[in-house]
Amino acid sequence: MITTIALSVFAAICCGWMGTRAVSEHRLALAQRHGLLDDAARLFDSAHITFGPDHFPTLVGRLDDGRQAKVELIVDTMVFRRLPQLWLRVTLSEAGECQRPTIGALARPTGAEYYSLVHDMPEWMSQPQTDASLLMRGDGTATHWQVERISALFRNLFADPQVKEAVVTPRGTRIIRQAAQGEPGAHLLLRQIRFPVTAISPDLVSLAIAEAKALGEAFAKPAAAIPTYEAA
């Protein structure tokens, strides 16, 4: 009888301790998420950060040329037998509509990329010669030379395996890059989503901004010029 009571008390104490620890770790994880874009906010003169239901931040600021830059973090757990991915999505919005087509490319498509713009584009296009598997689509308005120009840019851009998607439209440009990959132990054993990062590097955000700028300039530069991606 005494042994049974002792075991019951011990089990109750263990359950209480595990519950308290789980709550504490959850609060710590949410607090860490809130600060992921704090360092990147210093890249902009007037930056504003908001938080989504998942507590991941969204950063909005202005570039020196007046364009709006939106920096988002997207959690992707849709692909079976792959670690969770944390994507960095950078969108540059033009002040007005530009004279250029809508074209995009998505690396290693699975059909589960709910965050992708490429899947919604109506025209299938031949992918450029790259080591990565690309899905390239557009709105059907691009001229032959515009397709050649953007294909050359995509060949250069997607040589980096961390680039997931690149899109150019009349109203803006977008780059999606890998920011982090989920911790194997937490995902495989506990089915938890944890990323081994406490801050998104401003250099990574600057690189994505530079790449998004290059997309917008692809149709404006002389044909011999191929945009590069030095950090802004």
What's the confidence (pLDDT) of residue 3? 63
For the entire predicted model, the pTM comes to 0.81
The per-residue pLDDT for range 49-85, each reduced to its tens digit, is 999 998 999 999 999 999 999 999 999 887 666 678 9
- What are the phi and psi torsion angles at 131 (to 5°)? -75, -25
Any idea which of 35-49, 93-107, 152-166, 212-226 has the lowest mean pLDDT?
212-226
Q: What is the mean pLDDT of residues 11-19?
A: 44
Distance CA(55)–CA(78), nearest Å, equals 19
Q: What are the DSSP calls for 104-149, one per residue?
A: EEEES--S--TT-SGGG-SEEEPPPS-SS-EEEEE-S---HHHHHH
Task: Identify the band that residue 232 occupies on the pLDDT scale cut at 50, 70 and 90.
Answer: very low
The per-residue pLDDT for range 17-43, each reduced to its tens digit, is 343 443 344 445 556 789 999 999 999
Distance CA(197)–CA(191), nearest Å, equals 18
What's the confidence (pLDDT) of residue 26? 42
